Structure 1
Amino acid sequence: MLVSSQRILVTGGAGFVGRSIIWRLQQTHPDWDIFSYDKVLPDFDRKYNPSLDISKVTWLEGDITDLSAVESALAKSKATVVIHTAGLVPPLAYRYSRRIEPTVHHINVVGTQVMLQASRNSHFVQAFVWTGSVCAVIDDVRYQYPCINETWRTTSRNSTIYGESKAKAEVLVLRANDPLGTQADRRGKPFLTTALRPSVLFGPEDYQLIPSIQACIAKNEIPYIIGDGFNLWDVTDVRNVAHAHVLAVENLLSSSPTAAGEAILFGNGCPIPFRDFCCYIWSHWNAYPTWQIHIPVGVAAVIAGISGFFSSIFGLHTTFSKGSVYDAVAVRYVDGKKAELILGYKPIIDLEEALHESCLEYKKRLESKDVDSQATVKKVAKGEKTTA
């Protein structure tokens, strides 16, 4: 049975995933005290998810890589649970290169290390739920990943900088699991950790996946199909991701936690051909390919290589690269059995409903010009404040 009163600290609470987790916590445990720890505060004048009450959250400002600041936030909040979701997902222009590798490593790996250290040293924190990613496994573009489970190995140096950072951070999280409370002078108080690996994220207020695919319309790219177009992908609505996090918290706080020390893959429970996924998004803008042409993967890779070469000469950032080509034809979906068995996870939003709502929300943002900046990484690299 869960203790009725819990104090939850969500890192990155002003960001895309963090806000959704707070929303789900408010839905399922309205009596819990919620704290957000982020480099920025939310825009209090902006209308987020209407059922998210930001006035009932205590907003703490600070950097996840600053140990003293994190310790101060934990002391102020007296958090019993930390949900560490803050991190950096490189925009597409940076995803397949190593230009910002130090920044990604510092935020995703060092930041996780700092959060773990401060949480272990806290007298209050009992559980630590970490937002990992399926990219810890699937980001090596040399391979296909059909119906993967947790027995698949995490990525190597042949992965992207994001996948590598998530794989390294996950090791830290799982090693920190301490059911007997023997580490960092816990004095017998358990410190339980789990790593959640959602598949590629989207949802209302998404600033990467839906916008990047919608942008293909203006670039007249929708008639072109790389490969056969039948490769299956997993995508997960952010509200389902939030749901899984709450289930993980409940599990770790239960009398018999089964998620402790585990990495858990999950998706939306409905793999979809990548081409179909794109076409469904385009249809919300009444964009339909009047003709189609298949481009062999090898030919597309050569074109992308040439494009990347000239982009590097002229100092341009391109989203069309060998990595993006291999991503577009990849088979990547999870079986999700462990999430269902251990957490009792089942999606609360099905794929069609999630896609429809996400596209409608993005249309409203475009119409109001309230779109998230694609310069997120540049801001972080310069030390400027940005949501996690």
Structure 2
Amino acid sequence: MPHILVTGASGFLGGAVLTAIQKAHPDWTLTNLDLRPPPVSQPGVAYVQADITQQSEVDLAIRKANPDAIINVAGWVPNGSLRYSNSEALRGKVFAINHQGTLNVLSAAQETKCKAFVQTSSCTVVSDDLDHEYPNMTEDIPIGHATLAYGASKAPAELAVLAANTPAFKTCALRPATIIGPGDTYGVIATIHACIAKGETPWIIGTGDNMYDFAYITNIADAHLLALDNLLSTTPIPASAAGEAIFVSNQQPVYFRDFMLAIWKEFDHVPPFQLVVPTPLAWVAGLAAEIKTWVTGAKASTLSRGSVRDAVGTRYASNEKARRVLGYYPRVDFVDAVRLACDDYKCILAEREKMVNDNGVKAD
């Protein structure tokens, strides 16, 4: 039976990918390669500790595991205000993990019997170019123009993986949309929920009719399973994913404002009024918020020049290739995805409140 190694499987997406493989192929051998042990037990999964930024550690771990296939999920996603930072220190960390880390895993895989390599790339290889609009993105759009560190780091990693594709070592790259769901470590629901306490929910930045797409965690895990099965198959149906980059999402783009309203509604909040803020004015306000944070050392506001440009942009992808090549269709629809993600965050908030009540200290 095949032996599958998943990097970053102690995390949000990696753990979901492991679960999807276990359910579909309970007799397969699975290994989790991660810097940190899984937060909860993963029965039937071997854990190997390694830092993907360290070539020697990766070489030793992968050589010892000697897997038939690798799914490289490990990475770091700057969230909140860090998403828009282009500080040298942040970019260095992002590139060390997302780019060099991928190169390390890739080169180690090529020295073993590994014959399939699925790379978790990101829609941001295109959409993190905040200077342009990207409606209905397709895979033929050139990458490498991202203005934000995360997308900029994922693009060369993806290109390296696809360039390594051969008949004996098949590779592909999945480009998930922003992922939501239980266990979310990207902070999507948390960031939007935080607008309630900050009194920021009434403000509509720009026209409010820009569209985004998102994806539920198990749907993206399903896509990874489909890609893995495709690369391991001698006769992939309906088509081979080898050498291909593929966008995957919930296939239900929504107005960004409606997405936020849906989340706030799950927490019984409706904005007391709504006020449209022209984009140029919001940009100036974002600059002012950044200056205030820099001068006072206060906690960064949700508002920044980057968040304004992000919030008014249109960025969603076509999933035609995912359907055609992988046979991918999301099993959890978007309405249920929002509800389930918010239910999970409600539990997190309840646990924090209990900690405060039990210990008399504020939980982070």
Give the match for residue 248 of structure 1.
Answer: 227
Q: 1: CA distance between counterparts of 2:155 and 2:183? A: 26
**Aligned partner letter, 1:310:** K
Return the match for 2:171 from 176, 193, 196: 193
Q: Give the number of the structure with larger relative contact order, counting CA–CA contacts within 8 Å between residues 6 or more apart.
A: 1
SS at match of 1:19: helix
Q: 1:298 aligns with which of 267, 272, 280?
A: 280
Q: Deviations over 1:214-245 (max 9, x none)?
A: 11111111111101211111001111110000
2:126 to 115, 130, 137: 137
Separation in 2, partners of 1:194, 1:245: 10
TM-score, with normalisation over the residues of structure 1? 0.87
Which residue number corresponds to residue 47 of structure 1?
none
Q: Which amino acid aligns with 1:335?
A: S
CA distance 1:370–1:233, shift in 2 (3 Å):
farther
Contact 1:138 1:155 in 2 (8 A): no
User: Which residue of the partner structure matches residue 101 of structure 1?
Assistant: 91
The question of 1:170 aligning with 2:170 is answered no
Q: CA separation in 1, counterparts of 2:63 and 2:26?
A: 22
1:53-73, Cα deviation, whole Å (9 max, x unpaired) = 712111111111222222222
Give, in whole Å, the separation in 2 of the partners of 1:368 and 1:75.
41
Whether the aligned pair in 2 keeps the contact of 1:139 and 1:155 (CA below 8 Å) is no
After superposition, give the CA deviation of every residue in 1:21-70 in whole Å (9 maximum; x if it has no partner): 011111111111111000100223xxxxxxxx712111111111222222
Whether contact under 8 Å (2:144, 2:156) holds in the other structure is no
1:315 is displaced (CA, Å) by 4.0
Mapping of residues 1-388 of structure 1, within 5 Å: 5-44=1-40, 54-99=42-87, 100-122=90-112, 124-156=113-145, 159-179=147-167, 190-207=168-185, 208-257=187-236, 258-316=240-298, 317-369=300-352
Question: Matches of 1:331 and 1:17 in 2, distance apart?
Answer: 25
Task: After superposition, give the CA deviation of every residue in 1:154-175 in whole Å (9 maximum; x if it has no partner).
Answer: 142x510111001111111111
Identity rate of aligned residues, in percent? 40
Is the 2:63–2:108 contact (alpha carbons within 8 Å) kept by the matching residues of 1? no
Q: Which runs of 5+ in 1 are unaligned?
A: 45-52, 180-189, 372-388
CA displacement, residues 84-107 of structure 1 (integer Å, 9 cap, x when unaligned):
000010022211121200010100
Following TM superposition, by how much is the alpha carbon of 1:370 offset from its aligned partner in structure 2, in angstroms?
Answer: 9.5
CA deviation vs aligned residue, 1:266-306 (integer Å, no higher than 9, x gap): 21010111111111111111100121101001100011012
**Pairwise CA RMSD:** 1.5
User: Separation in 2 of the partners of 1:222 and 1:293?
Assistant: 10
Number of residues paired by the alignment? Answer: 347
User: Would you tell me which structure has more helix in proportion to its own residues?
Assistant: 2
d(CA) in 2 for partners of 1:289 and 1:369?
25
